[in-house]
Chain A
Amino acid sequence: MQRENCWHCGKPAEDLFCRFCNALQPPVPDYYRFFGLEPKLDLDVAGLQRKFYHLSRNVHPDRYTRGSARERQFSLEASAILNDAYRVLRDPVARAEYVLKNHGFDIGEQRSRDVPPELLEEVFELNMALEELREGDQSARPSLEAARDRFVALRGGVDTQLGQLFREFDATQDREVLARIRGLLNRRRYIGNLVQQVEKELAA
């Protein structure tokens, strides 16, 4: 992507900081570009953290208190994008959703309400047990705990599958893979909600 010239020295500015005069440039809103990363789903989070700390030291508004109004504005915007980007990219699910959205996929929440068919029976039993516990039947507790452990394991399985699909997409850039990722994310969210619900009831 073509960038404007540096607002400060007028020379071509391709990076966040001008190569010639080191002035902070208006930040790009793309999370991967901001970090100077290839748009890969399979990401080295430790490396991301190092970059985050490094960039924070250089763009944070604390560094521009004595700067011009323009620099302070750029610094504020750049820091906001940096923090937003770090929050999204360090989390595999948020990262995948971000990439899906950039590829035009709808990632609305409502899809997660449909019960994945292979889980129907399990969810039905779970709801019965939840109902019993709510009515004060403590004997439902062990079966709920077992169910929670099962769902946590299921979620772990989804995460492994997601990791494989991430690498597959990075290698192929195949849209079909993204569609499968979206399906898995919905399943994961559904399971996640179940776990949360069970934990809430168990804690109550």
Chain B
Amino acid sequence: MPELLQIDFGAQQPKPRVVGIDLGTTNSLVACMDLTGPKVIPDPAGEPLVPSVVSYTRQGEMVTGQPARVLLIDEPDRTVYSVKRLMGRGVNDVQEELALFPFRIAEGSESVIRLQLGERTFTPPEISSFILRQLKQNAEAALGEEVRQAVITVPAYFNDAQRQATKDAGRLAGLEVLRLVNEPTAASLAYGLDKRKDGIVAVYDLGGGTFDISILRLHEGIFEVLATNGDTHLGGDDIDNRLIRIALEDVQSEWGEDLSHNGSAVQTLRRAVIEAKERLSFVPFTEMVFEYQGRKYERRFTREQFETLIQDIIDRTLGPCRACIQDAGVSVEQIDEVVLVGGSTRIPLVRRAVEALFRAKPHTELNPDEVVALGAAVQAAILTGDVQDKLLLDVTPLSLGIETMGGVVSKLIHRNSTIPASASEVFTTAVDGQRNVLIHVVQGERELVKDCRSLARFELRDIAPQPAGLPRIEVRFLIDANGILNVTAIDQRTGKEQSVEVKPSYGLTEEQVEAMIRESQELAEADFRERQVREARVEADAILAAVEKARNDDAYFELSEDERQRITEAVNQLLLVYHADDHLLIRERIENLNNATMHLAEMMMDTAVRSALKGTKI
């Protein structure tokens, strides 16, 4: 009867925590709000950044983060990084990626990509879920309680499929994703820019694999996104790849050997390149050193050379910035502040480019690696009600349309519309007795379907047979606060809901996600044990606290000496096993304590009832 006991003793279950997660291309972080503000939660070793790298070991274990990063070099065929680039995408979308990244796509990857790691295949959401699981564990270890709900950030320019894939990853990791929030918007929350009360702010976010620009209007705690733009395939990765290519060419001419297909060599070189790149943000020149199998390649890079090499990559961010300013309906002069987000904004050339474009010195006070996760934690606190004076109004980055005659797109919801947003359209049949109508929904700015991104096909089913053109079915397209499309349909004549079947063009079906959750449970056997132990400890905490409180109750002193002794004994027995990794043992001792305190609970209940009765003055 642990429940009864808890109620009697009034042990309060704390409000479940919601964490904020930045699921990045290169690194991921988890953060949480405490009394003084948002804080990044480090891993048990004290590291705030968890590298977004996942490895499937020969022993059949999933390894994530820093240990997986090491395996990139030792086990390149079983290890994957930058998987965010593949989220919500089809094989045809990622041909460019495949040329530059060592992704091993498994056979039969049509609408859903499958990556080969050793002898198993994993979808990008599954890979991401292992990273999320790691973050979840880090948070649970630090907070001492189970974490089930999260806010996860996505690039503002992510489309519907990419968002859905991120949500799927959360579910696979055992997290309820309460909200997907756009990375630049999250960053603006973390900066607390609303302190200036009113103003226009631009957020320039150049990460490992994605670029976003958002322009917001701040008004008394409301963060209203006016426009957003970006490129989901532009980031620090592109800089690394360029430097790797140059180094590989050098090495080939020096050593007479082409290493570009040697996974382990390329990964070693990649590390050297990244380190050199990072150093160049702080020093005017550096040596890039690459050692492989007893041979050594060295090259001196000046910052100037580096900047010449990457100038065009940085320039690619400027077009989206200008388009965003125009879409926001503001002039450069009206923008009060510029915020830099993402590790790549440490590069001095990036800072100069931003300063020149916006004619303002950008904010860099917060660590650009952490600011998104911190903002996600603020959004989590908004959702729990712990923060009430702030509200985020975001927009959909891409227009939503349906296919009409001749493969032309009819736009229903325009880009930069504040979300949630909706549109309705009435559909009918073309043939007598037609039972089904197929609606093809696309996302993008172009006029023709073939130039936009197919989102899904919605099939209106079981339409009552009628002459052509008579049925009137109103379909409502609603983009929710996560930027994800929901479709409902109503038969206008009967007012009844019309059944709609969704066939996503890319990504996982509901059944696939369910199947993966089952499958992941096998892999998560160890996790599961750990979780059980943690749950048992939470339960133990509750009963120990309740007993402690009860010891001050009058009823406690009415117990016999013997009974009190038994309670003390049971408490000590429970404390003895509290830190053991055996949840069954902990639960057994909880049960013992429960039994020992049964009489006490009854007495306290009686007292409570008596005083309640007295209070009512019958």
Chain A interface (Cβ within 8 Å of chain B)?
53, 56-57, 60-63, 65-66, 76-77, 79-81, 83-84, 86-87
Contact = CB atoms under 8 A, between A and B. Distances in A.
B178 A76 contact: no
Interface in B166-208: 178-179
Nearest to A57: B391
Please indicate which of the listed interface residues B220, B379, B382, B422 has the most CB atoms of chain A within 10 Å of its own CB.
B422
A62 B391 contact: yes
Nearest to A49: B219
A56 B481 contact: no
B583 to A, nearest CB: 29
Nearest to B220: A53
Given A53-B220, A84-B421, A61 B391 contact: no
B366 interface: no
Contacts of A60: 391, 393, 481
Contacts of B219: 53
A76 B478 contact: yes
A66 B16 CA distance: 11
Contacts of B383: 62, 65-66
Nearest to A83: B418
Contact of A76 (B179, B392, B480): B480
B179 A83 contact: no
Nearest to A61: B481
A79 B482 CA distance: 13
A65 B422 CA distance: 20
Chain A contact surface mostly: helix
A66 B478 contact: no
B419 A62 contact: no
A88 to B, nearest CB: 11
Contacts of B478: 76-77, 80
A75 to B, nearest CB: 9
A53 B421 contact: no
Nearest to B222: A53
B481 A62 contact: yes
Contacts of A86: 418
Contacts of B179: 62, 65
B481 A83 contact: no
Contact of B393 (A56, A65, A66, A77): A56
Contacts of A56: 222, 391, 393
Q: What 4 A-B pairs are tightest by C-beta distance, nearest first?
A: A80-B420, A80-B422, A65-B383, A83-B418
Nearest to A87: B417
B311 interface: no
Contacts of A61: 420, 480-481
Contacts of A65: 178-179, 383-385
A4 B124 CA distance: 48
Interface string B459-496: 00000000000000000001111000000000000000
A65 B417 CA distance: 22
Given A53-B219, A81-B422, 18 more contacts: A53-B220, A56-B393, A57-B222, A57-B391, A61-B420, A62-B179, A62-B392, A62-B481, A65-B178, A65-B384, A66-B385, A80-B421, A80-B422, A80-B478, A83-B420, A84-B421, A84-B423, A86-B418
Nearest to B422: A80
8 contacts: A53-B220, A53-B222, A56-B393, A60-B481, A61-B481, A66-B384, A80-B422, A83-B418
Contacts of A77: 478
Contact of B481 (A57, A66, A79, A84): A79
A83 B219 CA distance: 17
A18 B418 CA distance: 26
A53 B382 CA distance: 16
B419 A83 contact: yes
A56 B479 CA distance: 16
Nearest to B18: A65
A87 B418 contact: yes
Contacts of B385: 63, 65-66
A57 B220 CA distance: 11
Nearest to A65: B383
Interface in B385-423: 385, 391-393, 417-423
A78 to B, nearest CB: 9
Contacts of A62: 179, 379, 382-383, 391-392, 481
B326 to A, nearest CB: 12
A65 to B, nearest CB: 4
B422 A84 contact: yes
Contacts of A57: 222, 391
Given A62-B383, A66-B385, A79 B391 contact: no
Which among A57, A60, A80 has the greatest number of chain B C-beta atoms within 10 A?
A: A80
A92 to B, nearest CB: 15
B186 to A, nearest CB: 13
B175 to A, nearest CB: 14
Contact of B420 (A53, A63, A79): A79
Contacts of B480: 61, 76
Contacts of A83: 393, 417-421
A108 B55 CA distance: 57
A100 B506 CA distance: 40
Contacts of B382: 62
B370 to A, nearest CB: 23
Contacts of A76: 420, 478, 480-481
A77 B480 CA distance: 9
A53 B222 CA distance: 8
Contacts of B421: 80, 83-84, 87
Contacts of B392: 62
A60 B205 CA distance: 26
A87 B481 CA distance: 16
Interface in B59-91: none
A131 to B, nearest CB: 23
B546 to A, nearest CB: 25
Contacts of B418: 83, 86-87
Contacts of A53: 219-220, 222
Interface string B411-449: 000000111111100000000000000000000000000
Contacts of B423: 84
Contacts of A63: 385
A63 to B, nearest CB: 8
B90 to A, nearest CB: 29
Contacts of B379: 62
A81 B423 CA distance: 9
A53 B198 CA distance: 13
B412 to A, nearest CB: 11
B318 to A, nearest CB: 16
B110 to A, nearest CB: 33
Interface in B196-236: 219-220, 222
A79 B479 CA distance: 11
B221 to A, nearest CB: 8
